[in-house]
Amino acid sequence: MVGLRDTPERRLAASAVGGIVDLADTDAAGLSRRAVTRWAAAGRLHRIHPGVFALGHPELDARGRAIAASRAGGPECLLTHQSSIALWDLGPWPAVPHITTRGVKLLRGVRVHRARELPRATLRQGLRTTTVPQALLDLAEVAGEATVSRTLNEALYRRRTSTAGLERFLAGCRGRHGVAVLRGLIPHAGPRHSTLEDEFFDLLRKARLPLPECNVKVAGYEVDFWWPGPGAVVETDGWAAHGERIRFEADRERDAHLHAAGFPPMRITGHALSTRPFSVIARLGAVIL
C-alpha cells in the first residue's frame, strides 16, 4: 500500500488551526519566503494580517477572524474579552476579535488590549486564551450589566466556573472596576434555564426592583425566582417548558405545596412579559416592596 505523499500542502494543512497558518507554519512546511509570496500571488494563501494567511477560501467567519488575530498577535498573545467568552462557548463570536498582548501592535479589524502583565493563559481548542473567571472580569469592563449577568449564569450552568471559584479569583484582583460589577451580580447569579427567565431578570434590572435568588429550593421545591425577605416566589411560564400535561399537573401540585408552606407563587407568562411588562412590574412590586 502506497503511503500519502508528504507535501508542503499536507504539512500546512496539518498545522493549520481553523484554516489559518502563519510564517512559522510555512517555515516548518519547508516553504521559503519567496515561495510564500508566490503562493499568495497565485491565491493558494490569502493574507489576513502580516505573516498570517488563510488556506483555501479567503472569506472567514468570526471564529476564523479571531484565530487569525491570535496568530498575528505573536506567541504571547491571548484571545480575551468577548473572544474568550465565545471560545468557552458562553456567548457568540464577536464581529471584531479581542486580543491582549504586551506589545504595541496595531491590527486592522482587531481590538487590541495592552497589558504590562498578561493574565494567566490556558489552552482551549489549540488557542491561547484566558480562564473563565478572567474572561468574565474582562467582559464586565466592556459590556453592559445585562450581558454580563447572562454570561455569568451561562458559565455557572455549564459548570465552567462556580461562585466560590469566582469569588476566590476576584479576591486577588485589585484596581479593576469589573470586580465591583461581578461582585454585585454573584449574590443573584444562578444557572437560569430559559431565555424567558433571562428576559424577566432583565426587566427587573430595568425597573430597578430588588433582585432575587434564582433557581433555588423553597419548601423542598426548586423555584425560578425567590425573594427571601418578603418570602415571594415567581415562576415564569413558557409553553415549551410547561405545555405538556404531565408537567402542567406537576407544576400545579408544586404550587399547592408552596401555598400551604406560606409562599404562594406568582406565575408570569411569556405573553404577559412581552405585551404587558408594566403590569407585570406593578403586580410584582406590590408583593416584594
Over residues 260-271, the pLDDT tens digits come to 999 999 999 888
**Residue 190: other Cβ atoms inside 10 A:** 22
**Backbone φ and ψ of 159, nearest 5°:** 60, 35
CA gap 239, 253 in Å, rounded: 18
Whether the Cβ atoms of residue 18 and residue 62 lie closer than 8 Å to each other: no
Determine the topology of domain 195-288 in CATH. Answer: Endonuclease; Chain A (3.40.960)
- Please, is 166 exposed, middle or buried when counting C-beta atoms within 10 Å of its C-beta (0-12, 13-18, 19+)? buried
The pLDDT assigned to 1 comes to 39
Beta bridge partners of 268: 236
Tell me the residue type at 165.
G
> What is the percent of the chain with per-residue pLDDT over 70, rounded to a whole number?
92
43-57, 176-190, 226-240: range with lowest mean pLDDT: 226-240
In tens, the pLDDT along 209-224 reads 998 888 888 999 888 8
| Closest by Cα among 94, 91, 134 to 110 | 94
Q: Would you say the pTM of this structure is higher than 0.75?
A: no
Q: Where in the chain is the domain with CATH 3.40.960.10?
A: 195-288
**Which one of 57-61, 155-159, 190-194 scores highest in mean pLDDT?**
155-159
Q: Sheet containing 20-22: give its strands across.
A: 20-22, 52-55, 45-49
8-22, 122-136, 181-195: range with lowest mean pLDDT: 181-195
Q: How confident is residue 104, by pLDDT bands cut at 50, 70 and 90?
A: low
The pLDDT assigned to 122 comes to 95
- Average pLDDT in the 77-100 region? 96
Torsion of CA 104, 110, 113, 116, to 10 degrees: -40
